[in-house]
């Protein structure tokens, strides 16, 4: 992920939409911030961040302001927690994705070989 963003790029790619807010629901504090970071990161990168180090501070700060959570809450979100795993599932559902299965791998191999 790039580390430097213009103000225009931030607004275009990292603005929280009404649909995003609906997905966030009533989450609060670090949970709210972690969820929105994971959601927007997935929308922009097509994958989830592996941890805090993957997300530039500028992005975290921009999102924290939009969801009205102190940016310091970012350090409280645990990427390896059950809540984070649940959040990734919620995000996949909202965006119409699912985890890859072994059957998907088999189908891909078959497709590649034909």
Structural contact between residues 44 and 14, judged by C-beta atoms closer than 8 angstroms: yes
pLDDT value at residue 2: 85
pLDDT tens digits along 57-80: 999 999 999 999 999 999 999 999
> Residue 71's closest CA among 40, 21, 33?
33
pLDDT value at residue 100: 84
Token readout for 107 is 């189908």
Structural contact between residues 92 and 98, judged by C-beta atoms closer than 8 angstroms: yes
Angle between helices 57-67 and 29-45 (to 10 degrees): 120
pLDDT value at residue 89: 95
pLDDT tens digits along 11-57: 999 999 999 999 999 999 999 999 999 999 999 999 999 988 999 99
As a whole number, mean pLDDT of residues 75-97 equals 94
């Amino acid at each position: 992920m790039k580390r430097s963003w213009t103000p225009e790029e931030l607004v275009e790619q990292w603005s929280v939409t009404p649909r995003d807010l609906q997905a966030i629901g009533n989450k609060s504090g670090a949970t709210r911030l972690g969820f929105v970071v994971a959601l927007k990161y997935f929308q922009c990168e097509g994958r989830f961040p592996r941890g805090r180090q993957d997300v530039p501070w500028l992005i975290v700060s921009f999102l924290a302001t939009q969801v009205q959570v102190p940016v310091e809450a970012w350090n409280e979100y645990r990427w390896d927690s059950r809540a984070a795993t649940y959040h990734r599932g919620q995000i996949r559902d909202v965006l119409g994705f699912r985890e890859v299965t072994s059957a998907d791998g088999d189908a891909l191999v078959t497709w590649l070989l034909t």
